[in-house]
Structure 1
């Protein structure tokens, strides 16, 4: 597979291939649904293929879940709820600890699987995704017997059956964000993974069996939006948790309105990454790269709008372009790869269309020099300059490796531009002045604000947004509230 190397930056040294073996993963040709502790066939006949975004190779086929399948899963979860919720918290914690340890033991296998099915580099799945997945289960295992001390009353009770729908950008991590607090609080779960990345959730079902989790506590029903709609509208669901696009989130909010179901939504974003004139340039460049090119920019909290103080704009952009020219794009299973494949042909088409819109509206496009592989779904690291707040690339969530650059002169102008968005999920501040960090962060309407870093996550820290980025929090003590009757 073709790779972009740092020879583009004038460096004569190249990286030898360092591929991770895919032999550690045994992917079955076909998968059914995981209901009541067992893999089972669907009531329907429709099967869907999941492909590797890097090669377009068919990895496996899986079941398109029907409304009848969802009903079976919800009934299994309801049956299991009475026993699971009655367990002492310390007993539930034991299962969560077992799951966390098994995830650690199988982390290499799961990292390769996630890279194959999602397209992100193995360096990210191995060093970021999987450690965080295990950490979330460990963290919420610790809360399971301390719910009365979480600040939600002396005797909070679980809600019942949680219907959870997760996206394709962090399949296993989003699963952990949803399932770990739900189980710790005593709820049971029916989860629907994204249609382009179902495999890690199906492997997680096997981990649940390996951990001895009681039947029906976790159920996994695969499929597309039809399956998701059947799940969130099912009358047996007590709580809906959704991570995905704002448009779908709005539709779900309308569907559950008036039903009494609890709802949390973690939706889109257009995060502002603000660089002041006293920021260390090299450190800021690394943070900008992490903010928008991590996971090919397919991150809801990506720093997709760079706001740079006017006096250092040219210097910063020169340094940023030099850095982007050293990024290596290619085989996601190569440990040297920085930029992997876009998740699907549909997502690549959206990114491409929005980039063309940016050019048509007069913004200046610059893409890192690289040759894209002939098969798979690829888009080069790209930035737009000459961008105003009226440009589509500054307003719409692109969800790809595309950065829009705007300038500002004063802190007040930076805050005004950062908040001039329908979204409010994330922001970053780069400056050497601690007082400026506190002053600016306090004015930003964003659920998470990073200071002199970006895209750093921890299970103890709550995550969520404002405005059209959704409501509710996941992670930390706050993440328990959505799964408790308080």
Structure 2
């Protein structure tokens, strides 16, 4: 636990080329504990010069000791890193909970699961093989290689910093890349604590670099000509800026962006299970997850019964200290996000939305607490809270009568990250899953991920996929090699 750190300001440095350093201009910024609403840590406020130094260090490692390692030896280092994460999971979770206000038990579960990403991709590192391609020309032997794409810039969010870093880190290391990480300015500390494990695990200096800072650091990383690939998790608005910045240098990108994911409940569903899934899908993590099931689509014949179950449970959710085992929902992770969600709820009320429960800040807590909120939008489907990602504990309720209508409503969004389907008919569940435009669909479940299962979205929910073996290919370039076998003199003006 970090009781001693909660009582005073803890000072951190950032990691560049294996050295812990301050920002080039000496600037610092503070990180706020959202439960207490007070500053608890100080970190460097990096900018362009620091990104330049980190990219140079990453390039040096790529062309040096790290680049010379065999894939098997990279895998060994990754497994050692996974072991260290498992050993320090409680500490990492405590730091993360202090920094972003999410439940310690949730952060601990994530920290304990994170090593599986390192183990899975470590096992894949020496299995990134190319192909021998049959040639129509008998005098050529043709094969492909998958080579590291180069230096990767990873820009990570404030809701689950080190787990979502792992989605990028593990396949990038397996592919042989080096990284420069820019964590959210709101939650930089757990990434800095995580960075301490790399030297202990035996990684060469410069393989993993962390530049803390605000938007200036993120913009410098996105537009840096020395970055070969950007992996970004965040909003679609910021993702668009990252994409535009990278386009100037033809930087490859993977974007895991927002969602407005539907939980679709049919009249034959187990309503108790569905209610639990809806609650976990939107109020778990205080709604601060890209895959939040923030739209409940319920068949009209069971709307009242299901809504009664969900509202009753929402009113009993225990809010409080994220470090307490009894707490079920913590505060919003940042002051700006708290203000954003409160503004959206105020505008929903002004538009005549029916607030079933919640709808305001919690009167019983300091910090950035918002009541679990349910908005019945069945008569007003154009509300902002229905159309846009809230990223808070707000559930919008919509109704449908037929399967076709449910699919139409589910797909009526610019997003397409995830969806849940609740039915006791396996045929219906599969049929609807195939027609809903979403990168991940759960049937009678919600919010489950694994390192070997691809994750990403359609539309404004992003570009590319993280996780799964194919994610490694996103961190490689494919090279085709033609070897002429006969040595015969060829016409220099012919092809083939």
Deviations 1:370-390 (A, max 9, x none): 954442111010000134331
Alpha-carbon shift at residue 321 of structure 1 (Å): 1.4
**Is 1:80 aligned with 2:75?**
no
Higher radius of gyration, 1 or 2: 2
User: What is the distance in 2 between the residues matched to 1:24 and 1:104?
Assistant: 22
Distance 1:428 1:374, change over 3 A: closer
Residue number among 369, 372, 386 corresponding to 1:378 in the alignment: 369
State the partner residue of 2:301. Answer: 311
State the partner residue of 2:124. Answer: 143
User: What is the distance in 2 between the residues matched to 1:380 and 1:178?
Assistant: 33
**Is 1:297 aligned with 2:297?**
no
User: What is the distance in 2 between the residues matched to 1:359 and 1:28?
Assistant: 39
Residue number among 250, 253, 256 corresponding to 2:243 in the alignment: 253
**Is 1:439 aligned with 2:431?**
yes
User: What is the distance in 1 between the residues matched to 2:236 and 2:328?
Assistant: 28
Distance 1:149 1:382, change over 3 A: farther
Alpha-carbon shift at residue 85 of structure 1 (Å): 2.8
User: What is the distance in 1 between the residues matched to 2:35 and 2:391?
Assistant: 17
Report if the CA contact (8 A) 1:22-1:112 is conserved. Answer: no
Distance 1:24 1:96, change over 3 A: farther
Alpha-carbon shift at residue 368 of structure 1 (Å): 4.7
Spell out the pairing of 1:181-260 with structure 2 (5 A cutoff).
Answer: 181-260=171-250
Distance 1:204 1:396, change over 3 A: same
Report if the CA contact (8 A) 1:365-1:385 is conserved. Answer: yes
State the partner residue of 1:452. Answer: 444
Alpha-carbon shift at residue 367 of structure 1 (Å): 2.8
Deviations 1:376-432 (A, max 9, x none): 111010000134331211101110000000000011000000000011111110000
User: What is the distance in 2 between the residues matched to 1:72 and 1:28?
Assistant: 27
State the partner residue of 1:111. Answer: 93
Deviations 1:176-218 (A, max 9, x none): 1111111110000000000010011100111111111100000
Alpha-carbon shift at residue 45 of structure 1 (Å): 2.3
Secondary structure of 2:435's counterpart equals: coil
Distance 1:372 1:181, change over 3 A: farther
Report if the CA contact (8 A) 1:117-1:199 is conserved. Answer: yes
State the partner residue of 1:350. Answer: 340
TM-score in terms of structure 1 length: 0.92
Spell out the pairing of 1:414-433 with structure 2 (5 A cutoff).
Answer: 414-433=406-425
Residue number among 105, 120, 126 corresponding to 2:102 in the alignment: 120
State the partner residue of 1:478. Answer: 470
Secondary structure of 1:99's counterpart equals: helix
**Is 1:51 aligned with 2:43?**
no
Residue number among 61, 67, 79 corresponding to 1:97 in the alignment: 79
User: What is the distance in 1 between the residues matched to 2:4 and 2:59?
Assistant: 38
Residue number among 169, 172, 184 corresponding to 1:179 in the alignment: 169
Distance 1:348 1:57, change over 3 A: same
Report if the CA contact (8 A) 1:25-1:112 is conserved. Answer: no
TM-score in terms of structure 2 length: 0.91
Distance 1:289 1:36, change over 3 A: same
Alpha-carbon shift at residue 52 of structure 1 (Å): 0.7
Deviations 1:129-163 (A, max 9, x none): 11231111111111111111799985311111001
Secondary structure of 2:30's counterpart equals: strand
User: What is the distance in 2 between the residues matched to 1:252 and 1:67?
Assistant: 15
Structure 1 stretches of 5 or more lacking a match? Answer: 1-19
State the partner residue of 2:44. Answer: 63
Alpha-carbon shift at residue 28 of structure 1 (Å): 7.3
**Runs in 1 of length 4+ with deviation above 3 angstroms?**
20-28, 149-154, 368-374
State the partner residue of 1:264. Answer: 254
Secondary structure of 2:126's counterpart equals: coil
User: What is the distance in 2 between the residues matched to 1:376 and 1:481?
Assistant: 43
User: What is the distance in 2 between the residues matched to 1:116 and 1:333?
Assistant: 8
Distance 1:465 1:377, change over 3 A: same
**Is 1:405 aligned with 2:397?**
yes
State the partner residue of 1:341. Answer: 331
User: What is the distance in 2 between the residues matched to 1:238 and 1:386?
Assistant: 44
User: What is the distance in 1 between the residues matched to 2:170 and 2:325?
Assistant: 29
Structure 2 stretches of 5 or more lacking a match? Answer: 134-142, 479-496
User: What is the distance in 1 between the residues matched to 2:311 and 2:47?
Assistant: 48
Of 38-47 and 391-400, deviating more is 38-47
**Is 1:393 aligned with 2:385?**
yes
Distance 1:154 1:43, change over 3 A: same
State the partner residue of 2:17. Answer: 36
